[in-house]
């Protein structure tokens, strides 16, 4: 099975009351580990590549690796450009064989966001590629995207309706209380998602797939390993898995996971370097980290996303 678009994948997720995991892959090794985790539980999968990683890896290399991984795994896999604010990069990825792209013009006011988004949507649809946009701004950091507000700006449901209607976008990321990075909430602060906003959007856009960005849970066991072996992420707090599962049972059909993978991967590398200070064998250090990523993906799919067995 080769690469597929996200449109039909997310339609099935909406109808089935589950979500597809969009797992950020910063390297080819991590990409393969993510696919391995999904394969264990027979789940469809979205491989997300950020704009910065596209620039360093090369779009053609990303497509070639993802195609091979999909064919070997026999899973429906989409290759998705994540959080691009550059229309030219979106078009380059489309031309290179990405099956899904996100144009993030959410920093603009609504009219310009619509205009920029529609330019990418029209180009993508002409090439048979799925599209994602965003309304409202998440707090935290996504590559070089920095927002200072504590929770960002929640999405207005009426804007969501206008945006989707006028752009023809295939899926929409909304801001309902998630945040990029490991520090989504202050210590002692109770995580909360605005399910009331999600339900209003769902009523205005019945059957339309919604996306959650900044939705890592920052598992304590992985955070503890990261910090025990020299990391400095004290008091990092994520979105509780039960909240994400509730979102996945509603209109949310795609949930992005980036921070969890990075904390898991680098925490395990820190541990292996500390336990084996005399080793200079790349595989002996990296393989346990990649295995940990595959375990994390498997657990997310099985306990949070609900997409196990849906391939």
Active site residues: 82
Record the tokens describing residue 99, joined without a space: 């099956």
| Degrees, nearest 5: CA angle 222-264-220 | 20
The answer to whether residues 301 and 308 touch, using CB atoms and an 8 Å cutoff, is: yes
CB-based contacts of 115: which residues, under 8 Å, 6+ apart?
Answer: none
Record the tokens describing residue 78, joined without a space: 């989409």
> Which three-class secondary structure state does DSSP give residue 78?
strand
Radius of gyration of the chain (CA): 18
Nearest to 269 by CA among 231, 218, 217, 219: 231
Nearest to 1 by CA among 58, 59, 67: 67
CA atoms within 13 A of residue 299's CA, in its CB half-sphere: 16
The answer to whether residues 219 and 259 touch, using CB atoms and an 8 Å cutoff, is: no
Beta strand segments in the chain, E: 20-24, 45-50, 77-84, 100-103, 130-135, 140-142, 145-147, 171-174, 210-212, 252-257
């Amino acid at each position: 099975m080769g690469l597929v678009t996200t449109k039909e994948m997310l339609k099935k997720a909406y109808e089935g009351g589950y979500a597809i995991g969009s797992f950020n892959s910063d390297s080819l090794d991590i990409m393969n580990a993510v696919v391995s985790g999904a394969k264990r539980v027979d789940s469809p999968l979205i491989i997300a590549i950020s704009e910065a990683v596209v620039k360093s890896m090369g779009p053609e290399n990303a497509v070639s690796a993802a195609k091979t991984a999909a064919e070997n795994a026999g899973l429906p896999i989409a290759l998705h450009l994540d959080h691009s604010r550059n229309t030219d990069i979106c078009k380059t990825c489309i031309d290179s064989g990405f099956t899904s792209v996100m144009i993030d013009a959410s920093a603009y006011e609504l009219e310009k966001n619509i205009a920029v988004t529609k330019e990418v949507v029209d180009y993508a649809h002409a090439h048979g590629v799925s599209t994602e946009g965003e309304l409202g701004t998440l707090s935290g950091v996504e590559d070089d995207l920095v927002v200072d507000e504590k929770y960002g700006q929640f999405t207005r449901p009426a804007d969501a309706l206008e945006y989707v209607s006028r752009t023809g976008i295939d899926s929409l990321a909304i801001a309902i209380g998630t945040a990029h990075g490991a520090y989504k909430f202050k210590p002692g602060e109770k995580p909360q998602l605005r399910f009331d906003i999600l339900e209003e959007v769902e009523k205005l856009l019945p059957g339309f797939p919604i996306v959650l960005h900044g939705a890592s849970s920052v598992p304590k066991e992985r955070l503890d390993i990261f910090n025990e072996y020299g990391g400095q992420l004290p008091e990092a707090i994520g979105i509780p898995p039960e909240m994400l599962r509730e979102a996945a049972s509603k209109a949310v059909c795609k949930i992005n996971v980036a921070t969890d993978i990075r904390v898991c991967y680098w925490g395990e590398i820190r541990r292996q370097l500390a336990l084996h200070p005399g080793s200079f064998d790349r595989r002996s250090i990296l393989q346990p980290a990649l295995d940990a990523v595959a375990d994390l993906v498997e657990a997310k799919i099985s306990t949070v996303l609900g997409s196990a067995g849906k391939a």
